[in-house]
Amino acid sequence: MIKHIDIIVQGKVQGVNYRQSTKAVADQVGVKGYVLNQDDGNVFIAAEADEMLLDIFLDWCKDGPEAARVSNLTTTDGELKNYRNFEVLKKPPVQ
């Protein structure tokens, strides 16, 4: 069953290739959605996939790329948006 989760990643996660690495992992695992930097220094991820794939993706998000230092990760279930792919965004999408 496809599920939507919103993820907020805190720590040293900007300026360390976190967004591009997240896209590469999402594409590899089969997760759809987007990732973007937030003004507060966190990274926001909207992700949709089968629950098992989301678990694999979340395991990676907890560590991120080598230079990242994730201090906290929170997830919230959300409404399915049926994303077609996974994108790196510069600003939040218009709802």
Ordered DSSP codes for 55-81: HHHHHHHTT-STT-EEEEEEEEEE---
Whether 42 is a known active-site residue: answer no
Active-site residue, from 17, 37, 69, 85: 37
Active-site residue, from 19, 69, 72, 84: 19
From first CA to last CA, the distance across the chain in angstroms is: 24
Catalytic residue positions, numbered: 19, 37
